Amino acid sequence: MLLAIVPARGGSKGIPRKNLALLAGKPLLAYTLEAALASRRIDDTLLSTDDEEIAACGARYGLVTPYRRPPELAGDAVPMIDAVEHALGWYARERGRQPDTVLVLQPTAPLRATEDIDGAIERFMSSAAGTLASVHPLAEHPCECVVTQPDGWQYLVSPPRAAAGRQDYRGRYYFINGALYLARTDVLLRERRFIVPGATLLYEMPRERGIDIDSPLDLTCAAALLGMRR
- What is the CATH number for 36? 3.90.550.10
- The structure's pTM equals 0.90
Q: For residues 8 and 48, is the Cβ–Cβ distance under 8 A?
A: yes
Contact indicator for 57, 17 with CB cutoff of 8 Å: no
Nearest alpha carbon to residue 83 among 73, 72, 92, 93: 73
Chain centroid to CA 95: 25
Strand, coil or helix: what is 59?
Answer: helix
Helix (H, G, I), strand (E, B) or coil at 151: coil
Q: Domain of 197?
A: 2-136+173-229
Residues 178 and 202 in one domain: yes
pLDDT at 40: 96
Domain count, the chain: 2
pLDDT of residue 140: 81
**Same domain as 145, residue 71:** no
Residues 214-223, mean pLDDT to the nearest whole number: 92
**What average pLDDT does the segment 1-20 reach?**
91
pLDDT tens-digit readout, 139-194:
888 878 899 989 999 888 877 766 656 666 667 889 999 999 999 999 999 999 99
Residue type, 224: A
Same domain (yes/no): 89, 19: yes
